[in-house]
Structure 1
């Protein structure tokens, strides 16, 4: 995804923020509580990216722990379907996709069996 190169393109892409910026007042709902001391420009993306949000770091640690727990809780047969998945969300969604259709089919079988 390409980023707009001119300030006018940024303002047209975010009309609510643009009106606030022109007044010199910025609505705090658009920003995290952590202040970034390095402003992003064409030459400092890598430096800007290194600004670390402690809440996000904590989230990443928890997600890594949950992903590890999920991967250690499945058999090797299931584990083959989870190769390359790096977040707990991706792992869980793959497990749901893998077993959801089987569970639905089994429920339909039991319902038919009960009716007959």
Structure 2
């Protein structure tokens, strides 16, 4: 993957205008264990890779270690190659500072998710 460059100003605001509502929806679906809501904004490849069975396993793994999602802040928007990533600092019931990373493809007007990662010390242990 190529070097990531931080995006700020108007371009950051444009990205957050679509990324924030998608992040809200994904995390609400996650908390409710609702795969249909969680995956609503997935691109085709992501939907295939992260099907309902994988979601249920991931949901159980994450919630057993750090609990449910509570809030997020401090979005950092970066670009690398053909992708734009938004990384939030999130609070879960049992851990603060969880990195939530949402990846979009540049030029995709539908703003489908191409990647989604949860990362924290408790999730890596």
Do they superpose with TM above 0.5? no
Q: TM-score normalized by structure 1?
A: 0.23
Of structures 1 and 2, the one scoring higher in RCO (CA 8 A, sep 6+) is 2
Bigger share in strand: 2
